[in-house]
A and B are shown apart, each in its own frame.
Chain A
Amino acid sequence: MIDFTYRRAASVDDAVRSGAGAAQQTRFIAGGTNLVDLMKLDVERPAAIVDINVLGATDRSLAAVSDLPDGGLRLGALARMSDVAWDARVKERYPVVSQSLLLAASGQLRNMATLAGNIMQRTRCPYFRDVAMACNKREPGSGCSAILGINRTHAVLGGSDKCIAVHPSDFAVALVALDATVHVHGPSGARAIPIAKFHLLPGQHPERETVLQPGDLITAIDLPALPFARRSLYLKVRDRASYAFALASAAVALDVQGGTIRAARVALGGIGTKPWRSAAAEHALVGRPASAATFRAASQAALADARPLRDNRFKVPLARRTLERALAEVTA
């Protein structure tokens, strides 16, 4: 690991200032589960690390789950995955969120990793993680090793001729299904970003992954009041039974009244270059009976634009069946 300077942030403003001044050279650290790993691989080479964990001690809301007046929940950016996953309000009102967190990583990692770090985590693309390989995301302009390489785990939705790396977060998939809001403190003040606009498609610039600018610090993630999210589900399919990234996953919430679907939220993970909300699947669900035929049609719609490559063709039917099963289970 290269050498770097380390200091603890004195306040949110202090962290924002230190991040803004030095652009790409400064990284915030909280759980460190992704950053330290990538620093050991030489993928991340920050000159300075600013520890933001202490901010949660001075302002507990930064690391807590709290009720919003409208019935939603505010999830502090520094809250640990395990604490949020086990929170009774999260489990009751947003089971899809609790499940997406518990099905991710391991018990130890969930005790360390924060929510903000989770949605900021970098791709698991093996070419991105290997500095000997070309990668446009890690080194813009160097080429993509995955498009013609071993691309079994890569994206079938949202890829470009520059990058097909999957966004690895499960939690972020649940968030896009729920229309969560990301609160950010930046050099020009505070702002709120809809989660759907938070992550970027790779396009011609896969090195840009989110809309955050240097110095921006996530302070909270708001889950809006969504009564029918009490009936929501996260289904994850992977190479082993536990402790693996998704090959395909589905976050679903359905409002079914009298056998008819009144509202639907569908998002997919493991198959997209960003957490993938599927308007097409939701359109195929709303107003129709909650039946196997409807679920099948929605699943077809969700993957209609899929562009698989040599090794990841299996993901298209896998994602369809994952979504179909999730819709069936959440209405069972």
Chain B
Amino acid sequence: MQLDSPLGVGDAAPDFALAVADADATSLSDFRGESVLLVLASPHWDPASEMLAARYPDAGDGAPMPRIVTERRAEITNRFGVQGGSALYVVDERGVIRWRWVAGVDVVPQSSVDTDDDRLSLTRRDFVQSAMMAAAALAAATLAPAVVNAAPAVPDVTAALSHGPATRITLDVNGRPLALDVEPRVTLLDALRERAGLTGTKKGCDHGQCGACTVHIDGRRVLSCLTLAVMVPDGAHVTTIEGLAQGDTLHPMQQAFIEHDGFQCGYCTSGQIMSATAVVREPWGPADDDVREAMSGNICRCGAYPGIVAAVQSQRQSRSAEGPR
């Protein structure tokens, strides 16, 4: 997969037609003359982008606020070089990018600020404030509360986004390369969800007790919440729930969970399915009780267990009908 570099500070923001036309704007260029906060997020990151856009206006203290444009169509985000990831851009009155925060596939999250540029038509205060707000909004979505609280006191937008020395890691996630600079304390779960935008893997207990974060590393089911991202062996294949379906065709286990009512609220389901797709390869006995034992590391508070057992059994039986594994 060819990856482009995301657009950076000083680049002209590509114009595009707004997904939802405003009373006075149908395209990005209609906002010339004022600054715009552009929230680019993939569909995978939908809840986070909503949160970013929603929280941003609340953080103001009367200073002029940039307009907020949320955009998640792939053909647009691709033009910014942000494939499958997420980004925030502050675009100035002339349509030039003045600040960015980028996270995603093969991209190092970073912010770039150039407040000494005399061409900058935003006032320094407005600009720093809007960048700060973007950082704070993002921090609210991705970082610990203590960091959010600290942000206003630190007039450096990068401080809210990065803490210690980062290590470059290269993962293979669902067959695609993913290069990230992460601190050692970042779990694989947080790297997948907050950095790669793969939010199908869920954070339940975050302590290895619920199984919601189950992913495969080289085909073995493991808990991403107790795996530090830096520990994933070089060249290892990570598979998440997003990697099971082939295009629009669901994985047979996904289809089985639907057919056998293997979920209610759905929060544990991606972990259940990732566990189940590994269980069929493990040497368990044939009984329902064997499935219950094999799947006991995946907790379902809705109590969809009978459907889960039925779904797993249907796949084990269809696999054994096909012959030896």
Contact surface of A with B, Cβ cutoff 8 Å: 1-6, 29, 32-33, 36-37, 39-41, 49, 51, 53-54, 57, 82, 86, 105-109, 111-112, 241-243
Contact = CB atoms under 8 A, between A and B. Distances in A.
A43 to B, nearest CB: 12
Given A108-B297, A111-B220, A241-B292, A32 B184 contact: no
A107 B283 contact: no
B40 interface: no
B252 interface: no
Contacts of A108: 208, 211, 214, 221-223, 275, 297
B222 A36 contact: no
Interface of B: 163-164, 167, 183-185, 187, 206-208, 211, 214, 220-223, 226-228, 230-231, 233, 275, 278-279, 282-283, 292-298
B223 A33 contact: yes
Contacts of A54: 233
Contacts of B293: 242
Given A49-B184, A107-B296, A243-B297, 9 more contacts: A4-B185, A6-B228, A32-B231, A36-B187, A40-B206, A51-B230, A51-B231, A107-B221, A241-B296
A73 B225 CA distance: 33
Contacts of A37: 207-208, 226
B228 A3 contact: no
Contacts of B296: 106-107, 241-243
Given A4-B184, A32-B228, A112-B226, A107 B207 contact: no
Contacts of B230: 6, 51
B297 A5 contact: no
Contacts of A36: 187, 208, 226-228
Contacts of B220: 111
A112 B223 contact: yes
Contact of A107 (B228, B231, B279): B279
21 contacts: A6-B184, A6-B230, A32-B226, A33-B208, A36-B227, A37-B207, A51-B230, A53-B231, A82-B282, A86-B282, A105-B297, A106-B298, A107-B221, A107-B279, A107-B282, A107-B296, A108-B221, A109-B297, A111-B220, A112-B223, A242-B293
B278 A112 contact: no
B184 A242 contact: no
Contacts of B295: 107
Q: What are the 7 tightest A-B residue pairs by CB atom distance, in nearest-first order?
A: A106-B297, A6-B184, A242-B296, A243-B296, A1-B185, A36-B226, A3-B164
Max chain A C-beta neighbours (<10 A), residue from B230, B278, B294? B230
